[in-house]
Structure formats: C-alpha cells, structure tokens
C-alpha cells in the first residue's frame, strides 16, 4: 500500500500534472484528446500544466522556431480556458529541477525498461543514430510528474506504458532511498479513445496534416474539413452511407447536438444528405465552438507581455514545489553534503 501524498493527507484537492510539446498552435486532436478535459479538471483538482520544451528537442527541429512555438502553445492554453488563477501554467525549461531529478532517476531506472518502451522502439527505427535523449525521454517524463508528487495524470491509452514506468521508478526510488514519491494514477477518460485524423487512418497530428488548428479562421477550417475521408463505400451521392464507420460522423459527436446527428445519420443512410453537406455542418459547428478561443487568442497575441508574465508567475509557483521535492530527494540520496558540516 502506497503512502498518502500531501494533498490526500491534508484533505485538499488531489494534484494532477500534464504537459504538451510545443510544436506551435494546438490542433483539434490536442483539444479533443486533452485540452477540453484539462479545462474541466480545474474545478476539481490542483492542476499543473506544462509546456515541455525540453522534451521537444529530442525530435530535432529548428532551434530558431522553438521559442515561437512555446508562445503559440501558451496562447492556445489560455485561449481554450486554462486559467492561471486556478492552475499553474509554465514552461519546463524555466524550472531546472526537472532535468536534475531526471538525472537522479537514472540511478534507479534499468536500461532494459527503457528499451522496451513502444514509442522508443518505433521512433528509433526511423533514425540512423539513436540519441540518448530518445531512450531517456520517459525518465524526464517521470521527473516532470514526480517532481510535483502528482496524484494523477490525465493520459490517453497511448501514454499508459510511460506512466507505468513512472510508477515503477517511484517504487524503485522508494525501495532504495525511503518513501518519497506517490505511485501516480493514470486518469483515462472513458469513451474518447484514439482521435483519428481527417485522413480516416492515422492519429491526428500536425506533422501529418490531418487535423485542424484550433485557432484557424473559418475559411481554413472548411479547407481542412472538406478533405476529410468518409465512408469508403459511399462513392456517389446516391449511394447509401454507413455513419457508424464514417470518421466525419464520429467527429460530429464532439460538436453537433444529438437531434442534428440523428438527422444526419438518417440522411446518410437514405442518401438524401451528401458527404459534402455533412462536412459543411461539421465545419460550421467547429467554427462556432472555437469562436471564443479565437477571440481570446487575439487578445493574448496583442498583449505578449501578459503571456510572458503568466508563464513567469507559473514558473515561480512551480519552483516552490520543485525546490521542496529536490531538497528531500538530495537528502535521501546522500548528496546534501552541506548538512553534514553544519553550514
């Protein structure tokens, strides 16, 4: 049985942590898979939301573009409703304890465990020379979470393996150095599943171009949605469709009311509604749903100092927690030598 975390023992809200890599403006998959849930969780949890720029460098890319991507993601966070008054919002590299704890976790993390990670095996096959950062990515991820002694992490099914490694690292550290970290629980939203891209095949991804930026103008939303793959057996408008296998109809589930969805399904099956009509309804509903996001983003883009201040304040609040954790970790690992000489 694991020891209780500070938030549990004091009766306060449980703490959760999560983050995203900065690849620029958030997209539809980010929103459906994570951000919309994060916004709701702010009422029930002590929330810490991070922009994980030190994870991003493991994928290469142009260093000159990374700072702009960080700001774009910060604007996206704020635009969808992440609230700096109710959450801590910050950039990973502004809190150096993340990488310090990751290095110390290497002392208890078996290489074999890292080599078994599915994402490592997949990504390592695409490069000729495997960077150590790709192997150690889950160790930094564990440090991100355990630095704040998070009780839970909202994750998708594809991240369960990494979180289980985080739990293993916590157990190994506690067994070696004494009870320090919680075994963080995965908080998986049931009924969401894998968010399939507009290509009807792969997971939504900006790099694959099969998604919609959440701050896109109406014209761009339509340009993206109109390319979406529908029921492959419906070749002509007069062919009856199968909404249950159509990815466009699946996306309607997030943006379209139940009565309209029922009408669309009936029209699809009877071939009285064409795929382009169905896509137009989806596009219009996405535009309406994301309208407030575009308005808030416009404000923050016009006030970059406000974004900078929010991230600075968030980093300062994060450092307070991180410093306390690292003082405990150093003491337990025997690297707090100043305590031995009474200084």
* CA–CA distance, 302 with 182 (Å, rounded to integer): 41
Same domain, 238 and 106: no
Residues 158-209 have pLDDT tens digits of: 778 889 999 999 999 999 999 999 999 999 887 666 789 999 888 898 888 8
Same domain, 122 and 271: no
* Angle separating helix axes 160-177 and 132-146, nearest 10 degrees: 70
* CA–CA distance, 326 with 151 (Å, rounded to integer): 18
Same domain, 95 and 242: no
Active site residue 206: yes
Which tokens belong to 302?
């016009």
Same domain, 319 and 282: no
Which tokens belong to 128?
């000729």
Residue 159: φ, ψ to 5°: -105, 0
Which tokens belong to 237?
């408008």
Residue 328 lies in a domain: yes
CATH number of the CATH domain containing 293: 1.10.240.10
Residue 204 lies in a domain: no
Model pTM? 0.91
Q: What is the pLDDT of residue 166?
A: 96
Residue 205 lies in a domain: no
Same domain, 89 and 184: yes
Residue 206 lies in a domain: no
Residue 239: φ, ψ to 5°: -75, 135
* CA–CA distance, 133 with 185 (Å, rounded to integer): 25
List 13, 14, 123, 172, catalytic entry = 123
Q: How many CB atoms lie within 10 A of CB 333?
A: 16
Same domain, 141 and 246: no
Question: How many domains is the chain partitioned into structurally?
Answer: 2
Same domain, 119 and 89: yes
Residue 323 lies in a domain: yes
CATH number of the CATH domain containing 59: 3.40.50.620
Boundaries of domain holding 105: 6-193+304-341
Residues 12-49 have pLDDT tens digits of: 889 999 999 999 999 999 999 999 999 999 999 999 99
Same domain, 224 and 316: no
Q: What is the pLDDT of residue 193?
A: 65
Residue 149 lies in a domain: yes
List 13, 14, 172, 203, catalytic entry = 203
Contact status, residue 181 vs residue 175, Cβ threshold 8 Å: no
Contact status, residue 304 vs residue 71, Cβ threshold 8 Å: yes
* CA–CA distance, 255 with 250 (Å, rounded to integer): 10
Same domain, 233 and 316: no
Reduced to 3 states, what is the DSSP secondary structure of residue 248?
helix
Active site residue 160: no
Q: What is the pLDDT of residue 130?
A: 83
Same domain, 232 and 157: no
Q: What is the pLDDT of residue 313?
A: 98
Active site residue 14: no
Distances (CA, A) of 141 to 5, 136, 168: 19, 9, 13
Q: What is the pLDDT of residue 9?
A: 38
Same domain, 108 and 223: no
Torsion of CA 179, 171, 164, 184, to 10 degrees: -10
- Residues in the chain, pLDDT under 50: 1-10
Rounded to 5°, the CA angle 150-153-155 comes to: 165
Residue 233 lies in a domain: yes
Residue 223 lies in a domain: yes
Same domain, 180 and 324: yes
């Amino acid at each position: 049985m694991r020891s209780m975390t500070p938030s549990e023992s004091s009766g306060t809200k449980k703490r959760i942590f999560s983050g995203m890599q900065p690849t620029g403006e958030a997209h539809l998959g980010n929103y459906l898979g994570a951000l919309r849930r994060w916004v709701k969780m702010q009422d029930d949890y002590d929330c810490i939301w991070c922009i994980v720029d030190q994870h991003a460098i493991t994928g290469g890319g142009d260093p000159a573009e990374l700072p702009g991507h960080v700001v774009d993601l910060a604007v996206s966070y704020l635009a969808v409703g992440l609230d700096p008054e109710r959450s801590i919002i910050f950039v990973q590299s502004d809190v150096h304890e993340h990488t310090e704890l990751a290095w110390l976790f290497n002392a208890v993390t078996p290489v074999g465990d890292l080599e078994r990670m599915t994402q490592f095996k997949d990504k390592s096959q695409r490069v000729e020379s495997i960077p150590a950062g790709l192997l150690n990515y889950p160790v930094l991820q564990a440090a991100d979470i355990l630095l704040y002694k998070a009780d839970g992490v909202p994750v998708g099914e594809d991240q369960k393996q990494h979180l289980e490694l985080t739990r293993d690292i916590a157990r190994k550290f506690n067994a070696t150095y004494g009870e320090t970290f919680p075994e963080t629980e995965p908080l998986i939203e049931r009924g969401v599943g894998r968010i399939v891209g507009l290509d009807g095949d792969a997971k939504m991804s900006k790099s694959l171009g099969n998604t919609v930026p959440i701050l896109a103008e109406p014209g761009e939303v339509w340009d993206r949605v109109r390319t979406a793959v529908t029921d492959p057996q419906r070749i002509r408008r007069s062919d009856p469709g199968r909404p249950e296998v159509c990815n466009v109809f699946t996306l309607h589930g997030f943006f379209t009311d139940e009565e309209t969805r029922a009408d669309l399904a009936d029209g699809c099956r009877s071939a009285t509604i064409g795929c382009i009509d169905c896509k137009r309804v989806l596009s219009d509903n996405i535009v309406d749903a994301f309208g407030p996001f575009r308005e808030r983003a416009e404000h923050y883009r016009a006030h970059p100092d406000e974004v900078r201040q929010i991230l600075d304040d968030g980093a300062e609040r994060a450092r307070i927690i991180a410093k306390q954790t690292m003082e405990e970790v150093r003491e337990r690992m025997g690297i707090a030598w100043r305590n031995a000489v009474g200084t």
